[in-house]
Structure 1
Amino acid sequence: MDNESFSEVEAEEPVIAEEDIFVSKPDARQPRPWLMPLFAGTGLGIAIALGSMGILSYLPARQQTAVANKTAPKVNPAMTVTIASVEKTRVTRTFNTTGTIAARDLIPVLPQANGLQIKIIPEDIKEGTFVKKGQVLAILDDSILQAQINQAKADVESKQADVAAKLADRASKLAITASNQAIVQQNQADLAQTQARLEEAQKNFQRYRKLAKAGAISQQELDTRFYTVKTAREVVRLAQENVRSAKANVGSGQANSNSAEASINKAKADVRSSVARLQQLQAQLSQTVVRAPVSGIVAEKLARVGDVTGVPPQTQVGTIIGGTQKLFSIIRDRRLELQAKVPEIQLPQVEVGASVQITSDIDNRVQLQGRVKEIQPLVNDKRREATVKIDLPPTDLLKPGMFARAAITVNTTLGMTVPQKAVQPQPDGSAILFVLSGENIVRTQTVEVGEPIDGDRVEIKGLQLSDALRVVVDGAGYLKDGDKVRVISQKDEV
């Protein structure tokens, strides 16, 4: 049943009921014909009103809302933001430059024994490898040295045997000298005896000569005494000759002993020389093992298996140091430095010991803190730049020859800072802040951006510092000058 039929039924039912009432009452008045259209119109109006309410109940809520909004006034809601205070902070002034990474202390590794072939280089010895002090870098062929050592040992033994023979010869000559000295003593005793006999014979001759003059003895007896004296004299002469001969033999023996002593000393010197040569060769044998003189990173590996020390390949003519071929070079303790180029007009601002921030264009992990170690005294006369050497902490992120940037600290002053997020860059290259004013209205303020502070704040210029000065942080990118905002928190307290 449609709405129209439903309305007609509802309109007819009251009329029928009313007629029935009038009929059932015996004393009722007769119905009035003009009331019938009135009752029909009233019922029809009520039915239409009820039908309209049913139709509205079936409309979607969105359409109802749209209908309601047509009559509601349009309101612009406030943006919810967080704010932060402008703070006065010590700001570090820097100027930027670039440079090249270099080894702070590059140690050459030279062979201690030249003319030997490189036999072994451990596989783990490569450029960039970290080595410890004393670690084996290369082993040289020691076969020639071994042969020379064996020859030197034989020479030492031969010299020592010669010394022993000379010592024995000297002992024999000393024994002969001692014997000759004994003979001298014996001959001297014999001489003294013969001299005593001569003196006795001479006395007897004098006595017998007096007796002969007195005629007590014959001339023949006197002549016998005379010949006895003469014989005694000859014996004394022979004894004296024997003494002189024995003394001569002693002198000769001493000369021979002295000669033997000199020969022994020379032989001992030869032995010492041979021993020194042996020790030198043995020292060279220990030098056939090339070890790292310091701990650090292998920067250069110039040696190859088969090369001869002291005879560099044609490609390594420039690696000779002091007449010796360089085999390796080591960066001591992995210490690096940045050799930065500083224009001469900025050079007076740089001080030894100044802090430097090091970064790299190709590796954002490089965020190192260095120190100015040295300012080179010479300025390049073409580019008008000086080299500033900056010490770097140990790192595996940088290698010699790499390019890096440096922010050198020149001074520290007081400045105003705000959170980095509060600064809104503009298309024309400028920057603005949204400053909170009374009744939570924001106003734009053009500022100049200075140095970054601790990564999340930045220096600004162009504002007058006030205790109540606050800027919008979160939500600043959606505002415009004059917007009303609703502050939900102070950024410094979040």
Structure 2
Amino acid sequence: MAAVVAIGVVVLVLPMTKENDAALGVAETTQSAAALTVAVTTPQRDVWPVEVQANGWLAAWQEVVISAQVGGQMIVSVNADVGDTVAEDDVLSEFSRGSLENDIQQLEAELESARASVELATTDADRARKLSSGSAISQQQAAEYLSTERKAKADVSSAEAQLASARLDLDHTVVTAVTSGVISSRSAAIGDVVSAGAELFRMVRDGRVEWQAELPLNQLRNVDVGTPVSIPTPIGEIAGEVRRISPSASESNGRVIVYVSLTPPDGTVQPKTGIMISGVFKIGEREAVSVPSSSVVMQDGFSYVFTLEDGETPTVSRVRVETGRRQDDRVEITSDLSVDARVVQSGGAFLSDGSVVRVATAAQTSDATNVATGEAEQNAAASIENQVEAD
């Protein structure tokens, strides 16, 4: 009877052992299938430049407006157009002169008449001065002669001033460049009768263009007059320097305009105005802890890295991080991340917190990304197949 019971126990235990072994085999297969091959690295501590990026418009360093200084005259010639480079005192336009020349002749005649009146008044006044000591003329008559002399002299001064003004108007019929530069706009047209003060041309003084960058207040505290600036362009980087900072912020966006003088490389022309560009203010240098950009994974709107956890079965932990500067293919980590942490270099997009991984050897590191991608696809296919078999 005892023998029979023993045999019965063995029979009952053996089926249980086979089922456990099968379950363990499935678990091991599943664990092996879930393990991704990843490359790991440690954060680097380096000294990086501190830079502030900004956007802004290219504009004239100083814009010169050239207007008509005499009115009522017709434009008879226009000698400059948009894009022309002109020197100081170059003739840009000319007005008609006939009416002004006639005015000058009339004023010259009036001046001669006033001078003749002065001569007569002076003669009478001199006689009055001699006779005023006696009784030949009264004091009142003497005063009148002296007053007439002063008035005649005033009339001469007035006529001289009017003649000088007319001659100046005649000179203003020739419109010249008040400084060297590049014509940026032209309003003058042959045949137009202009009024005094009407705009004829606009110029970029000396052809110099500046960058008017817009910076928020929280970034402005590190920028000062003299701060170097670098602007990348298709023809290479253009160096610059902060020359002036606006004392007030914009009412529309709260940003402050920083005026940057540019120094294009030798042999290149000044950039064109009216273009929105990006540039970098070089503030200084500061130590940075960085990881490869491929290590940073965006999930749920936040940045994460996966760090390797030691154990019998290697797993990874998802760590939320804050990022900062970027340089080449590396990203600065501004949050607390140990420089001794082993960070997944690639394949993080296919991982989750607690995922089982296999660490690539040195020879496998360069191929880790491809391996991780391939294994992820295989695991996905295996999961689907296991689900189908389970159903």
Q: TM-score range by the shorter chain?
A: 0.5 to 0.7
Equivalent residue number for residue 116 of structure 2: 161
Per-residue deviation at 1:406? 0.6
Q: Per-residue deviation at 1:459?
A: 6.7
Deviations 1:131-168 (A, max 9, x none): 22222222222222111110000001111222233344
Per-residue deviation, residues 189-208 of structure 1 (Å, max 9, x unmatched):
xxxxxxxxxxxxxxxxxxxx
- Equivalent residue, structure 1, for 2:202: 329
Distance of 1:259 and 1:384 partners within structure 2: 72
Q: Which of these residues, 176, 195, 199, is aligned with residue 310 of structure 1?
A: 195
- After superposition, the C-alpha distances for 1:93-146 in whole angstroms (9 at most, x for unaligned) are 223332211112112222222232222211xx1222222222222222222211
The one-letter code sitting in structure 1 at the alignment partner of 2:145 is: A
Task: Sort the Cα spacing of 1:151 and 1:449 in 2 relative to 1 into closer, same or farther, 3 A.
Answer: closer
Is this contact kept in 1: 2:207–2:270, CA < 8 A?
no
- Within-5 A mapping of 1:277-316: 277-310=162-195
Match of 1:140 in 2: 95
Q: Which amino acid aligns with 1:144?
A: S
Partner SS state of residue 389, structure 1: strand
Q: Aligned in 2, Cα 1:139/1:366: closer, same or farther, shift over 3 Å?
A: farther
Which structure is higher in helix share?
A: 1
Counterpart-to-counterpart distance in 2, 1:160 and 1:382:
64
Match of 2:258 among 347, 363, 388: 388
Deviation at 1:450, TM superposition (A): 3.8
State whether structure 2 residue 140 is matched by structure 1 residue 264: no
Code of the aligned partner of 1:263: T
262 and 370 in structure 1: CA distance in 2 versus 1, 3 angstrom threshold: same
Distance 1:90 1:159 in 2: 84
Which residue of structure 2 lines up, in the alignment, with residue 368 of structure 1? 238
Between the aligned partners of 1:346 and 1:416, the Cα distance in structure 2 is 21
1:358 matched to which residue of 2?
231
Cα separation, 2, equivalents of 1:168 and 1:381: 72
Query: Does the 8 Å CA contact 2:289/2:339 hold for their aligned counterparts?
Result: no
Identity %: 25
The 3-state SS of whatever aligns with 1:159 is helix
SS in 2 for 1:327: strand
3-state SS of 2:194 partner: coil
1:358 positional shift: 0.8
Q: Which amino acid is the alignment partner of residue 354 of structure 1?
A: T
Question: Structure 2 vs 1, CA of residues 331 and 409 (structure 1 numbering), >3 Å: closer, same or farther?
Answer: same
CA distance in 1, matches of 2:195, 2:59: 27
Q: CA 1:346–1:263 in 2, change beyond 3 Å: closer, same or farther?
A: closer
Q: Counterparts of 1:259 and 1:450 in 2: how far apart (Å)?
A: 92
8 Å CA contact retained: 2:128, 2:137: no
Given that 1:99 and 1:405 are in contact with CA atoms closer than 8 Å, whether structure 2 keeps it comes out as yes
The CA deviation at 1:291 is 1.7
Deviations along 1:358-382, whole A, 9 cap, x unmatched?
124xxx1041011233343444566
Quickly say closer, same or farther: Cα 1:483–1:88, change in 2 above 3 A: same
Would the alpha carbon gap of residues 272 and 93 (structure 1) be closer, same or farther in structure 2, given more than 3 Å must change? Answer: same
Q: Corresponding residue for 1:451?
A: 327
Matches for 1:80-91 after TM superposition, within 5 Å: 90-91=47-48
Alpha-carbon contact 2:88-2:177 (below 8 Å) kept: yes
Amino acid at match of 2:271: L
Amino acid at match of 1:116: Q
Mapped to 1, the partners of 2:286 and 2:125 lie a distance apart of: 93
CA deviations 1:375-425 (Å, max 9, x no partner) are 4344456645433332222562511101211122233135699xxxxx998
- Structure 1 counterpart SS, 2:193: coil
Amino acid at match of 2:64: I
**Any idea what SS the aligned residue of 1:117 has?**
strand
- Give the secondary structure class of the aligned counterpart of 1:350: coil
Contact 1:91 1:459 in 2 (8 A): no
Letter in 1 for 2:158: S
Shift of 1:449: 9.3
RMSD between superposed Cα atoms in Å:
4.2
Which of 479, 482, 490 pairs up with 2:363? 482
SS in 1 for 2:82: coil
Instruction: Show the counterpart of 1:225.
Output: none
Contact 1:92 1:451 in 2 (8 A): no
What amino acid is the match of 1:151? Answer: Q
The number of aligned residues is: 275
1:104 and 2:61 aligned: yes
Query: CA–CA distance in 1 between the matches of 2:148 and 2:252?
Result: 73
Contact residue 336 and residue 393 of structure 1 kept, 8 A: no
SS in 2 for 1:408: strand
Superposition TM-score, scaled by structure 2 size: 0.58
Unaligned ranges ≥5, structure 2: 1-43, 299-323, 341-360, 366-391
SS of residue paired to 2:195? coil
Supply the distance in 2 between the matched residues of 1:356 and 1:140 (Cα, whole angstroms): 45
* Cα distance change, pair 286–449 in 1 and its aligned pair in 2 (3 A): closer
Residue segments in structure 1 that go unaligned for 5+ positions in a row: 1-86, 182-246, 312-323, 418-422, 430-447, 453-457, 466-479, 485-494
How far did residue 169 of structure 1 move?
Answer: 4.5
Letter aligned with residue 327 of structure 2: E
Question: Which residue identity lines up with residue 119 of structure 1 in the other structure?
Answer: V
Partner Cα distance (2:120, 2:215) in 1? 78
Q: Which amino acid aligns with 1:297?
A: V
1:292 Cα deviation (Å)? 1.5
| TM-score, normalised relative to structure 1 | 0.47
| Rg comparison, structure with higher value | 1
- On the 8 A contact 1:416/1:459 being kept in 2, the answer is no
Secondary structure (helix, strand or coil) at the match of 2:53 reads strand
